[in-house]
Amino acid sequence: MKIDKKFLLKRVLPVTIGAVIGYAYYYFIGCTTGSCPIQSNPYYSTIYGSLLGLILAFPTKKKVKKKKIKMKNNKITKDIEIEELVNILPDAVVYLMEQGIRCLRCGEPIWGTLGGGIE
């Protein structure tokens, strides 16, 4: 069985670091009277640290894959809809505005073909 380095770095390492920090918390700060359940027992503080490391090891957001929209023949022609162009290339809005082609007016989109916007 092959060991996956990515798995080790993303899951096992934070748990191990959490366990070390949990034990260090017991060792340096721990409660000597026994009234603090986590601080007074090295096992509890180590497990608690491991659980905190495990919680931090899991990602909070899933990566969103961008939806690819296919253009006809992968070319930008005068017949392409401005909406389709902006969906494919969001930065095109700035370029179109600089060139005098209005694709937004008063906050409302103006759709049509690129050729119609030039005219």
Query: So what's the pLDDT on residue 53?
Result: 92
What pLDDT shows up at residue 92? Answer: 78
Q: What tens digit of pLDDT does each residue of 81-117 get? A: 777 777 777 777 788 778 777 666 555 566 677 777 6
pLDDT at 2: 76
Query: Per-residue pLDDT tens for 41-66?
Result: 889 999 999 999 999 888 767 666 65
CA distance between the termini of the chain: 65
Q: What residue spans define the domains of the chain?
A: 5-57, 72-118
In the predicted model, is pLDDT for residue 32 greater than 80? no
